Structure 1
Amino acid sequence: MTVTTEFLISSLSLPLVSLAKSLESNQFECVHGLCLEHDSRVFVIYLEPMEDRSEDDLLAFDEVVEATALGRSSGKDVFQITIELEDIVSEAFAPERFTATQMEPTVVTPEGWYEKKLFQNYNAFNGMRTRCEEYGIEVELVSISQNQSGDDESSQYGLTDRQHEALTLAIGRGYYESPRQVSTEELAEEMGISQPSMSSLLRRGERQLLTSALGSQPQIDSLSR
C-alpha cells in the first residue's frame, strides 16, 4: 500500500523562503533532490518572467552560492542554483530515514515548502514528520489518500498482509459471531503466533478498517500506533 500526501513544511532554516517573499507572486516552483540525497545542494527553480530576476539578483540571497540561467521552459525562466544548506535541514531530510518519491515540483512560499510526495505507507509519512519535528521543522498535513492497487483487499483498505490474514481467519472461524465460535488463543495457534500478537493484529486491523470506512485517514498519529 502506498499513500499520496500533500503537506507544508515550515522552518526558519529552510532555504529560498526569503526569495518567495520577495516575488510579486509570492511563490515559485523548484526541484531538488533532498529526498534522495540529504546533502543535495543543487536546486532548479522556475520563475515567472514578470519577476525579471537575474543571476546576480539570486546571488544576493545569503544561501545562494552559485546561480546559472538555463533559459526558458514552459513559459518560465529557469535557473540552476547551488544552496548552502543548514545542517538541520540536511539531517532532517536524510533519505535513509524514510522512503518517499517526489510527485510534483516543490512550491516555495513565504510560509514554507508545499510538497506532494508518495510514501510506502502511513508509518513512513509519520516517520518523516517525526524526524522533521525533531529538528524543529514543522510539518502541516494538507491531505493524504491511500492508493488502491487493483482488487487487492488488503491494499484497498490499508491493511498489512498479516492483518488481512488474521481478520480473514477470524471471520472464517466465527470469531465475530455471537456467541463467538473460536477464541483468540485458537486463532493464534492456527497462525503460529502468540495470543497477545493475535489480539494485536485483530485490534489494529479492526481500527484500520474503521478508519478507512469512516474517512478519517488524515489522523496519522492514531494510525501509526
Structure 2
Amino acid sequence: MRLVAEFKIYCDSLPLVDVVAAVPDARVRLDLQYNHGKRPLFLITVNGGSEQTLETALTDAYDVGGWTQIGQAGDTRRYQIQPALSFEEQLGDDIDDLAGLEELATADAFIDRITVEPDGWRQTGWFADREEFSKFSSFWQHNADFRLDRLNRVETPEPPGEGLTNRQYEALRIAYERGYFEIPRQVSLEAIATELDITASSVTERLRRAQTQLIEETVATTWPTLPESPQ
C-alpha cells in the first residue's frame, strides 16, 4: 500500500534554514542535484522577498560555500548552491543517529518537494508502505520535532471528471462553451435551462454537484484536514 505524506521537520540546523529566516517573506523550494560528487548541490527556486537581502544571506551563511544565480523570470529566481559542510558537520550537533540518517537515503521512499522555512523543512514524500513511512517518521521524531500534516493512501486515480453523471457533464459543458463562467458572464442561467429543456433551478443543482465532484477529485485531495470549528 503506497502512501503520500506531507510533514514538517522542525530543525534549525537543516541546510538553508538560517538563510530563509533572514528573508521570511520569501518562498524557497529546494531540490538536490545528486550528480555532483559526494555532497549534492542545492538548487533553490525563490519567489518573493528582497533579492538583495536573500543574496546577502547566502553570502553570509555558514553552510553555503558559494552560490550562483542561474535564472530569473519575473519574481522567480533560481540559484545553484555549493554546500560548505558535510551532512555530519551540518547536523552532527543536533542529530545523534547520523548512521540512521544515511540509511534513510536507501529507504523505499521518494521526497519530491522540500520547502525551506525559517524553522525547518516542509516536505512531501512518497513511501512504499506504512513500514517505510514509520522508519522515516520515527527517525525524525527521535532526532527533531516532527509534525505530520497529511497521510493518504495512493491509488490509481481516474481522470478528473469520471465521477460526473452524463447530465452533469452536459450542463457543465454547455455552461462553459456558452460563456457562463466568463467574467462578465456571456449567457444567463435561464438561457442554459432553455437549451437543456429543464428549469433554472435544475441547472443550478447540476452545476453545483458537478463543481463539487471536480473539486473533490482534484485539489481537495491535497488539502490537510481543517481543525474543528469552535462551537
TM-score interval for Structure 1 and Structure 2 normalised by the shorter chain: 0.5 to 0.7
User: In 1, Cα distance between the equivalents of 2:107 and 2:144?
Assistant: 16
Distance across 2 between alignment mates of 1:74 and 1:32: 23
1:10 CA drift (Å): 1.6
Q: Secondary structure at the match of 2:25?
A: coil
Q: In structure 2, do the counterparts of structure 1 residues 82 and 47 end up closer, same or farther at CA, with 3 Å as the change threshold? A: same
Displacement after TM superposition at 1:27 (Å): 3.7
Q: Which runs of 5+ in 1 are unaligned?
A: 151-217, 219-225
Structure 1 position 124, deviation (Å): 0.6
2:154 aligned with 1:147: yes
C-alpha distance after superposition, 1:13-64 (max 9, x if no partner): 2111111111141541111258x99x64311112235421375541210000
Aligned mates of 1:122, 1:24 — CA distance in 2: 34
Q: CA 1:40–1:2 in 2, change beyond 3 Å: closer, same or farther?
A: farther
Change (3 A) 1:139 1:93: farther
8 Å contact from structure 2 (residues 8, 120) kept in 1: yes
Is residue 2:50 matched to residue 1:43? no
> Is the CA contact (8 Å cut-off) linking 2:26 and 2:47 kept in structure 1?
no
> Using a 3 Å threshold, how does the CA distance of structure 1 residues 51 and 111 change in structure 2: closer, same or farther?
same
Counterpart position of 1:137:
144
Corresponding position of 1:110: 118
| Count, aligned residues | 148
Percentage of identical aligned residues: 18
Partner of 2:6: 6
CA shift, 1:85, in A, is 3.8
RMSD: 3.1
Rounded to whole Å, the distance in 2 between the matches of 1:133 and 1:21 is: 23
1:118-197 matches, cutoff 5 A: 118-134=126-142, 136-149=143-156
How far is 1:93 from its partner? 4.7
Are residues 109 and 46 of structure 1, via their aligned partners in 2, closer, same or farther at CA, if it must alter by over 3 Å? Answer: same
What is the alpha-carbon distance in structure 2 between the residues aligned to residue 122 and residue 74 of structure 1?
41
Conservation of the 8 A alpha-carbon contact between 2:26 and 2:46 = no
TM-score with structure 1 length normalisation? 0.56
Q: Secondary structure at the match of 1:127?
A: helix
- Residues 121 and 93 of structure 1, relative CA distance in 2, 3 Å threshold: same
Provide the rounded CA distance (Å) in 2 between the counterparts of 1:49 and 1:113.
18
- Does the C-alpha gap of structure 1 residues 68 and 143 become closer, same or farther in structure 2, counting only changes over 3 Å? same
After the TM superposition, which segments of 4 or more aligned residues of structure 1 sit over 6 Å from their partners?
A: none
Q: Measured at CA, do residues 116 and 93 of structure 1 come closer, stay the same or move farther in structure 2, by a change above 3 Å?
A: farther
